[in-house]
Structure 1
């Protein structure tokens, strides 16, 4: 992984739109117009009750499925839905509550540690900037982007395996790394679609444009897709 896109050039500057040939710009706009028409208000699948429980759920979802996290968190959040309650609960009880989730020991440690830090540095509130979020234990760029997007309605794009695949496959923005794809998408997705682009691409990759066997026959983007291995 080099941090460059597939063409070998540096990732485009964040926040700066890239000029595209008219036909390509129209194709990308049409992709998002169709996704928006099919699902005007896309939602994430993690269950949460407030920005703090969203943050915890996203931290727990690393290398785990949303469904698996959703099975474990209701009982946890019933006991601790604020940083103060999570600290009071303690690492051992958090660990017990999430033991069905992969890497649960380290995640329990991070959840309690980030709760401490939220209290000490942010008055128990979830911060609304990427830098402040990524300073928390267990919170990487992707997690921060999810929280900023869902909890605070910022037009961020959290590139997971689904978005990485779909963006390179259609393609919308090619890149050799998640950050390159993130920057590429920010540069080419029309402004009015940026807020929900994250969810549309994740859901499309999870349920239609699957890794091993994309379901091209029922894809609403079939005629806009340039993937050479499209199935009939």
Structure 2
């Protein structure tokens, strides 16, 4: 499910950042995560690289973007050369369910409007935890929903718009906690331009109107001591 994101339709719906909310939502997540120049960030499903580049420009952090599409990786690697942060940002081809990075090598994992598209979500969440250092954080934004997705929103454009496999709120929390994370914050993302796709969703039925775009902040759990304390 990566090729559709390379299309002109995807750019029309979602903009150059290839996710609802654009770089404004990326910056919001970066602020929630308290990013700084001493932080190493893994951007999972980095797309064309807009989020990774923006994080480095805004917060001075180093960012590795992992993206399944080799075409997107090539485009992102070219795009960063003209931004002034090429010394901070790199991109590699890889799978969110088998991240090509060592364990305990990042302070933060960021995943924007992509978790719902991963076929093996529990495996992806476990990979987030594996690559994080002790006390590491996960910032995730995605569409949550109640009820079933209407039939007219289950096609190609639904996948592009992060709708087709959107999960109920409790499922996102379950995936994160089962992987070993503590969800510290869950909030509805308001005041961000969500693009044409969510406007269509809100007009498509009562169950989909109950959907929300949400941000999650989670942290790795401290290992228990012999006395059971953390």
Give the TM-score normalised by structure 2. Answer: 0.25
As a proportion of its length, which structure holds more helix? 1
Greater share of strand: 2
Larger Rg: 1
Q: Which has the higher contact order (CA 8 A, sep 6+)?
A: 1
TM-score computed with the length of structure 1 as normaliser: 0.25
